[in-house]
Amino acid sequence: MKKIVILGAGTGGTAIANKLRQALSRDEWEITVIDRDDNHVYQPGLLFVPFGICTVESIIKSRKKYISGGINFVIDPITRVNHERNRVETKGGSFDYDWLIIGTGCRLAPEENEGLMDEWGKNAFSFYTPETAESLRHAIAGFKGGKLVMNVAEIPFKCPVAPIEFIFLADWYFREKGMRDKVQLHLATPFPQCMPNWPKGRVVMLDAARKKDISISTGFALQEVNKERKYIQNYAGERIDYDLLVIVPTNQGDQVISESGLDDGSTYVPTDKHTLKALHHKNIYVIGDATNIPTSKAGSVAHYEAEVITHNLLSEIRGKAPEPIYDGHSTCFIVSEKGKSYLVDFNYDTEPLFGKYPLPVIGPFSLLRETRMNWKGKLGFEWVYWNILLPGKRTMLPPTMTMAGKKQEP
Ligand SMILES: Cc1cc2nc3c(=O)[nH]c(=O)nc-3n(C[C@H](O)[C@H](O)[C@H](O)COP(=O)(O)OP(=O)(O)OC[C@H]3O[C@@H](n4cnc5c(N)ncnc54)[C@H](O)[C@@H]3O)c2cc1C
Q: Ligand 1 pocket, 103 CB below 6 A? A: yes
Instruction: Determine the 3-state secondary structure of 398 from DSSP.
Output: coil
Question: What are 48-79's pLDDT values in tens digits?
Answer: 999 999 999 999 999 999 999 999 999 999 99
Residue 352: CB within 6 Å of ligand 1? no
Q: Residue 69 gets which letter from DSSP?
A: T
Averaged pLDDT, 104-111: 98
Which residues make beta-bridge pairs with 354?
407
> How large is the C-alpha radius of gyration of the chain?
21
Q: Is the pTM of this model over 0.85?
A: yes
Residue 131 has pLDDT above 90, yes or no: yes
Q: What is the DSSP letter of 158?
A: B
Residue 99 has pLDDT above 90, yes or no: yes
Residue 279 scores a pLDDT above 90: yes
Q: Are 271 and 308 in contact (CB under 8 A)?
A: no
Strand 60-62 relative to strand 39-41: parallel, antiparallel, unpaired? antiparallel
Q: State pLDDT tens for residues 349-375.
A: 999 999 999 999 999 999 999 999 999
Tell me the CA distances in angstroms from 232 to 2, 123, 407, one per residue in order: 53, 12, 40
Residue-level pLDDT at 360: 95
CA 173/CA 154 separation, integer angstroms: 26
Q: Which domains does the chain have, with CATH numbers?
A: 2-107+252-317 (3.50.50.60), 108-251 (3.50.50.60), 331-407 (no CATH)
Coil/strand/helix, residue 353: coil
Query: Which of 16, 159, 262, 336 for mutating ligand 1's site (highest number of atoms within 8 Å of CB)?
Result: 159
* Ligand 1 near 11 CB (within 6 A): yes
Q: For every residue of 206-255, which 3-state class applies, written as one string? A: HHHHHHCCEEEECCCCEEEEECCCCEEEECCCCEEECCEEEEECCEEECH
Nearest C-alpha to atom 5 of ligand 1 is from which residue?
A: 44
The reply to whether ligand 1 has any atom less than 6 angstroms from the CB of 119 is no
Distance 298 CA to ligand 1 centre (A): 8
Average pLDDT on 158-183 reads 98
pLDDT score of 397 more than 90: no
Mutating to test ligand 1, I would choose from 11, 90, 100 the residue with most ligand atoms within 8 A of its C-beta, which is 11
Rounded mean pLDDT of 256-269? 96
Instruction: Give pLDDT, residue 358.
Output: 96
